[in-house]
């Protein structure tokens, strides 16, 4: 049940983190048979401090790359499919360079980062993936032979440091739970804290609203609960501090936009009716109800 919500969260999450550093494309199609890369990232010219905030993820994003996050441990077949996407993109970029009478060196071709909650020894050995001997990369990052331009990141093997936090949030079980606790404990003024809390809260809401929850779904809901509760409390406090009707209206609009991706005409029409509710009830409904439920409840008199 968690696969689709996880895919959506992982793409939004990585886009949120990487957007300040360069161009991010979600579900980018590559040539030959139509395949989609989860994240295609091209760095912009940036200050070193901007990428430093992301720690290991920022180090990975220092050059053009593909990122493929997995909710479950990646299999050999899934790794091969990722490699096919990488090589299709390499071919596309090389053809484009030839048309434009340019050249691309091996080092300029994008690298593939496969983000897996864990990697078995069989998988690592089968692909010849090894830790970096230079000491430039963290434990848990396994590189395939150089010309394959690929690395497997075993998230459960990453050291529990601030440098790996943003990758460990994509882990599972105790690894993810600890990362969520570390995120909640960050200072309120941390530049990433608020938006990532909101993404995690929305992920929890999406999973909780699914039917036939599995044990894995319930564990995920528990892991994400501290982020959800902190975000809900922060949002409620901000609404109280805004005070004015205009400030509260903006808060409602922002919540709708963050939950559903856009504030279209249909959602805009129900803002005034939602505003008639007490702040606490209003916040609860905005966090819990689906788009269809909000439209049905608050849009009746507009039809």
Q: How far apart are CA 216 and CA 222, in angstroms?
A: 10
- 228 and 135 assigned to the same domain: no
Residue 1: predicted pLDDT: 43
pTM: 0.76
Question: 40 with 114, same domain?
Answer: yes
Lowest mean pLDDT among 65-74, 190-199, 266-275: 266-275
Mean local confidence (pLDDT), 179-194:
91
The number of beta carbons lying within 10 Å of the beta carbon of residue 138 is 19
Residue 303: band (very low, low, confident or very high) from pLDDT cuts 50, 70, 90: very low
With pLDDT > 90 as the criterion, what percentage of the chain qualifies? 42
Q: Tell the residue number behind the tokens 């809901």, with chain if given.
A: 221
- Flag whether 178 is in a domain: no
**208-252 pLDDT, tens per residue?**
777 788 888 888 888 888 887 887 777 666 655 555 566 677 778
Reduce the DSSP state of residue 137 to 3 states and report it.
Answer: coil
At residue 26, what are phi and psi to the nearest 5 degrees? -95, 135
Q: What average pLDDT does the segment 134-159 reach?
A: 96
My answer on whether 34 and 144 are in the same domain is yes
**Mode of pairing for the β-strands spanning 35-43 and 65-69:** antiparallel
Higher pLDDT, residue 197 or 125:
125
Q: Name the least confident of 18-22, 144-148, 237-241, 264-268.
A: 237-241
pLDDT in tens, 280-298: 788 778 877 888 888 888 8
Q: Are 221 and 207 in contact (CB under 8 A)?
A: yes
Helix residue ranges per DSSP H, 100-242: 121-126, 165-168, 173-185, 193-208, 215-242
- 50 is a domain residue: yes
Please report whether residue 261 resides in a domain. Answer: yes
Sheet holding 130-131, edge to edge: 22-30, 35-43, 65-69, 111-116, 150-154, 141-143, 130-131
150, 223: one domain:
no
Name the residue among 203, 248, 235 with its Cα closest to residue 222: 203
Pick 57 or 46 by higher pLDDT. 57
Quick check: 34 pLDDT over 80? no
Indicate whether 10 and 134 sit together in one domain. yes
302 confidence band (pLDDT: 50, 70, 90): very low
Q: Is residue 195 part of a domain?
A: no
pLDDT at 166: 96
pLDDT of 49:
66
Report yes or no: 205 and 225 within 8 Å, Cβ to Cβ: no
Instruction: Give the number of domains in the chain.
Output: 2
pLDDT value at residue 228: 78
Candidate from 16-30, 31-45, 121-135, 165-179 with smallest mean pLDDT: 31-45
pLDDT of amino acid 147 = 94
- Indicate whether 30 pLDDT > 80: no
Flag whether 112 is in a domain: yes
Which neighbouring-strand residues pair with 40? 25, 66
CA angle, corner 15, sides to 271 and 235, nearest 5? Answer: 35
Tell me if 186 is assigned to some domain: no
Q: Say how many Å lie between the first and final Cα of the chain, rounded.
A: 34
Copy the structure tokens of residue 73: 């441990």
For the chain, what is the radius of gyration of the CA atoms? 21
Q: Which residue has the tokens 């689709």?
A: 4
Cβ atoms of 280 and 236 closer than 8 Å: yes
Of 138-142, 171-175, 236-240, the one with minimum mean pLDDT is 236-240
What distances in angstroms separate CA 56 from CA 127, 162, 300, one per listed residue?
23, 9, 49
Domain assignment present for 188:
no
pLDDT of residue 279: 73
164 and 29 within one domain: yes
Q: What is the pLDDT of residue 82?
A: 95
Same domain, 263 and 122: no
Looking at 22-36, 86-100, 107-121, 166-180, which range is the least confident one? 22-36
Q: Does residue 226 sit within a domain? A: yes
The Cα 249–Cα 137 span in angstroms is 47
Higher per-residue pLDDT: 256 or 117? 117
pLDDT at 137 > cutoff 60: yes
Shared-domain flag, residues 209 and 163: no
**Average pLDDT, stretch 129-138?**
94
Supply the range of the domain harboring residue 164.
3-170
Phi, psi (5° rounding) for residue 28?
A: -75, 130
* 18 and 164 fall within a common domain: yes
CA-to-CA distance for 185 and 197, rounded, in angstroms? 11
What phi and psi, each to the nearest 5 degrees, are found at residue 150?
Answer: -140, 145
Residue with tokens 């340019």: 102
């Amino acid at each position: 049940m968690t696969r689709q919500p996880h895919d959506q969260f992982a793409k939004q999450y990585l886009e949120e983190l990487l957007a300040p550093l360069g161009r991010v494309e979600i579900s980018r199609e590559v040539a030959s048979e139509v395949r989609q890369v989860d994240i295609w990232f091209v760095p912009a010219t940036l200050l070193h401090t901007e990428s430093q905030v992301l720690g290991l993820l920022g180090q990975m994003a220092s050059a053009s790359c593909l990122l493929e996050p997995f909710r479950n441990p990646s299999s050999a077949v899934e790794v091969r499919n990722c490699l096919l996407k990488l090589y299709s993109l390499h071919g596309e970029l090389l053809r484009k360079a030839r048309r434009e009478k340019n050249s691309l060196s091996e080092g300029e071709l994008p690298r593939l980062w496969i983000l897996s909650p864990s990697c078995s020894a069989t998988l690592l050995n089968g692909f010849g993936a090894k830790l970096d001997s230079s000491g430039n990369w963290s434990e848990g990052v396994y590189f395939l032979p150089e010309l394959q331009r690929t690395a497997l990141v075993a998230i459960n093997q990453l050291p529990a440091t601030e440098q790996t936090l943003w990758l460990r949030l994509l882990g599972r079980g105790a690894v993810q739970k600890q990362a969520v606790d570390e995120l909640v404990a960050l200072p309120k003024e941390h530049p990433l804290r608020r938006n990532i809390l909101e993404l995690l809260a929305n992920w929890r809401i999406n999973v909780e609203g699914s039917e036939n929850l599995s044990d894995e779904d319930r564990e995920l809901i528990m892991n994400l609960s501290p982020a959800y509760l902190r975000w809900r409390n922060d949002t409620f406090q901000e609404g109280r501090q805004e005070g004015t009707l205009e400030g509260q209206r903006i808060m409602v609009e922002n919540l709708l936009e963050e939950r559903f991706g856009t504030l279209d005409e249909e959602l805009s029409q129900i803002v005034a009716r939602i505003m008639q509710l007490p702040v606490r009830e209003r916040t609860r409904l905005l966090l819990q109800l689906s788009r269809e439920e909000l439209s049905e409840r608050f849009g009746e008199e507009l039809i």
